[in-house]
Structure 1
Amino acid sequence: AEPVEVRTPTPAAKVLASPAVRQRAKDLSIDLAEVRPAEDGRLRHADLDAFLSYNASGGFQPAGLKGKDEQVRVIGLRRRIAENMAASKRNIPHFAYVEEFDVTALEETRAQLNAGRGERPKLTMLPFLISAICKLLPKYPMLNAHYDDEAGVVTRYGSVHLGIAAQTPGGLMVPVIRDAQSRNLWQLAAEITRLAQAARDGSAKSSELSGSTITVTSLGPMGGVATTPVINRPEVAIIGPNRIVERPMFVKDASGVERIEKRKIMNISMSCDHRVVDGWDAASFAQDLKKLIEAPALILAG
């Protein structure tokens, strides 16, 4: 057998490398003696990158950087949000209901309207959802209500003052669209944009951040598959659209024959106060909402 050459590692002190390269190697727990320079005997960052790529399974790359422990006082708006959320969960027996909606036709309608919107604001999903909710609430007045648990009184409202849960640098805020039932799609889109911006930059008036009768909360593309939103006390219901995904679905054509189509699907989640809203009412509302969302012409009709 031929003799095996034994290589003696070069001491790290004798390796030619800049202080920055040495520090990076130290942070990554890499022995510089194990890294082979690409040229002129001096180790560079590119040599470390190559070493890591070839030794990814060797455990040289740390999972993350160590951070600092810190304490953050919960004060101001953040404290009020915390107190309101705690009071809602402590006092309200929540129940959740989630239904699947086919929003393919609605997304096509939305695209067509946006293509000819001119100077008007761009339509998102929310104006359609709010319009559909406003159409249904006269049939389900117990959802558009406040419950005073101390007095044992439910106040059902004729107008829909719809809260829009919005994330801001200062925390969660709920600006309110007054008389949402009296606005068309474009007016709703403009008011959503105005209120969201006012909440984010701190210019929203106190009257614009209170007095909602029912709330919609949306995380947009990060909406997840389903949510269980916390009710905005003293309201009794909150509605949360989730992320839109594309799925193959069985669809019947005009002759009744089923075929597979790619459809856009979105779940809508509801949380309700079980002291005021029965499960049957929530489910019935969700099914009627499904009919409107899946046939957007019904939303646009008077």
Structure 2
Amino acid sequence: MTRFIFRLPDIGEGISEAEIVGWHVAVGDRIEEDQELADMMTDKATVAMESPVAGTVIELAGEPGDMVPIGSALVVIEVEGEDAAEPAAQEQIEAETPGVGEVDETVPEEASARTSDSVHSEPVKGLPSSSANVRGAEQGFDKLSPNGGVDHAAPSILASPAVRARAKELGIDLAQVKAAQGRIRHADLDAFLLYGAGEGYRPAVSGRARPDETVKVIGMRRRIAENMSASKRHIPHFTYVEEIDVTALEAMRADLNAHRGDKPRLTLLPLLIVGLCKALPEFSMMNARYDDEAGVVTRYGAVHLGMATQTDAGLMVPVIRDAQARNIWQLAAEITRLADAARSGEATSEELSGSTITVTSLGPLGGIMTTPVINRPEVAIIGPNRIVERPVFRGKEVVAAKLMNLSISCDHRVVDGWDAARFVQALKLLLETPVLLFAD
């Protein structure tokens, strides 16, 4: 038997370390060549590490959330045969790596497995168990004894199916409800809720305490936490909000969708991006990145637009390259492609970096307004909010209009409030007169 030390390779992104997001193997597992060992996260992406050999896992470098330097031991594998891992070279590696070469040769048959879960939870000790009445309610209210246990000798309780269903939903033991007229009615349940909720009554699920959870902040969630903290710590934010009448824009979008043929369906986002790209040349301080260490602001000629996207792993920002050079249909297709890649975990590091300005939207959950956090080192982020229909004055007439608040947060070290307001007003003009979006 020979120990093979699998070291974390240089992933090629100029990084010095990577974070363990999750293990696919445990100590004592028998693995095959090319089997996935662990998911490791760099600054931008998660990479699966595969074993170059077959054998038995005898040591792992750490737990999810731990950082592993490039070139250090990640997994120690026991392989069969003296020539399996070049023993001489392997002995030298073990000598240079404290602790790694000192693994006990006898691995227990049932070795303890390190979990690959990123969330660890334990039930809180001492919590009361569900009451006997609730347990009994799940088995049938007409056979409950007053103490909450099931009593098959108890006489049937007179109640309609609707009353029984409501009592079950509320977690009420019908045996404890007094029937005013011999048969339990909804009024009797109401009276019990108001006046008779004693020890036998327990509310439905909403009243039961759940076990506490301890959640380890690792992987993408930790990256998000670090980036957001750095953004708020270093950037003096200010937010400006303006109301925009998108009635005409929505009507044009509906017409475009009705005649789109095999083109992708348009949402508001491609039209908003076209407006941004037309307004930004006059406000180049918005399409910029600030290197606060060097004291340099770079104003970009091209619009590489970040698109905040919610995924199961957390918020990611894929980038639409050269958005100013794409038409609305190309933008719609690219938005869908990048969002799908981000949500499936297939987005590359290049697709997740290099943005010059970001748009963030909660879609139908957009709310009245938002105060978005800047995607550092950018200097501005734009957030369209939910469209609502409200009455507005058109001259002396009151008509229905579709209105949307548009929020923008800026870095006050680089962008003045006057400039941000002028930029939003220019964008407002384009969106409220949508024919200008397609005018040269």
| TM-score of the pair, normalised by structure 1 | 0.84
What is residue 328 of structure 2 aligned with on the other side? 185
Q: Distance in 2 between matches of 1:130 and 1:26?
A: 49
- The equivalent of 2:424 in structure 1 is 286
1:211-250 correspondence runs (5 A): 211-250=354-393
Q: CA deviation at 1:297?
A: 0.5
User: If you compute each CA radius of gyration, which structure gives the higher value, 1 or 2?
Assistant: 2
**Equivalent pair of 2:246/2:431 in contact (CA under 8 Å):** yes
Is the Cα–Cα contact under 8 Å of residues 98 and 226 in structure 1 kept in the other structure? yes
Distance 1:300 1:38 in 2: 75
Give the structure 1 partner of residue 402 of structure 2.
264
Higher helix share: 1
For residues 53 and 114 of structure 1, what CA distance do their matches in structure 2 show?
Answer: 52
**Cα shift at 1:82:** 0.4
Residue in 2 aligned with 1:170?
Answer: 313
Aligned CA distance change for structure 1 residues 147 and 30 (closer, same or farther; 3 Å): same
2: CA distance, partners of 1:113 / 1:196: 22
Q: 1:161-217: per-residue Cα shift (whole Å, max 9, x none)?
A: 000000000000000000000000111011001100110011111100110000000
Tell me by how many angstroms 1:66 deviates. Answer: 1.7
State the Cα distance separating 1:300 from its structure 2 match: 2.0
Say if 2:304 is the partner of 1:161. Answer: yes
The residue that corresponds to 1:6 in the other structure is: none
Q: How far does residue 64 in structure 1 lie from its aligned partner after superposition?
A: 3.7
Larger relative contact order, structure 1 or 2 (CA cutoff 8 Å, min sep 6): 1
Aligned 1:26-175 pairs, distance under 5 A = 28=171, 30=173, 32-34=175-177, 36=179, 52=189, 61=203, 63-175=206-318
TM-score between the two structures when normalised by the length of structure 2: 0.59
Which SS does the other structure have where 2:385 is aligned?
A: strand
- Counterpart of 1:208? 351
Unaligned runs of 5+ in 1: 1-9, 42-46, 253-257
Aligned partners of 1:71, 1:50: CA distance in 2, in Å?
44
Alpha-carbon distance in structure 1 between the residues aligned to 2:145 and 2:189: 20
Aligned partner of 1:137: which letter? Answer: L
- For 2:156 and 2:390, how far apart are their aligned partners in 1? 54
Matches of 1:211 and 1:52, distance apart in 2: 62
Give the aligned residue type for 2:220.
L
Distance (Å, rounded) in 1 between the aligned partners of 2:169 and 2:244:
53
- In the other structure, the counterpart of 1:3 is none
The Cα shift of 1:65 comes to: 3.2
The one-letter code of the counterpart of 2:418 is W
Percent of pairs identical after alignment? 61
SS at match of 1:151: coil
Shift of 1:144: 0.3
Q: What is the identity, as a one-letter code, of the residue corresponding to 1:295?
A: T
Q: Tell whether the 8 Å contact from 1:35 to 1:48 is kept in structure 2 after alignment.
A: no
Moved more, 105-114 or 26-35: 26-35
Q: Which residue of 2 aligns with 1:198?
A: 341
- Counterparts of 1:17 and 1:70, CA distance in 2: 42
Unaligned runs of 5+ in 2: 1-143, 158-163
> Across the two proteins, how many residue pairs are aligned to each other?
278
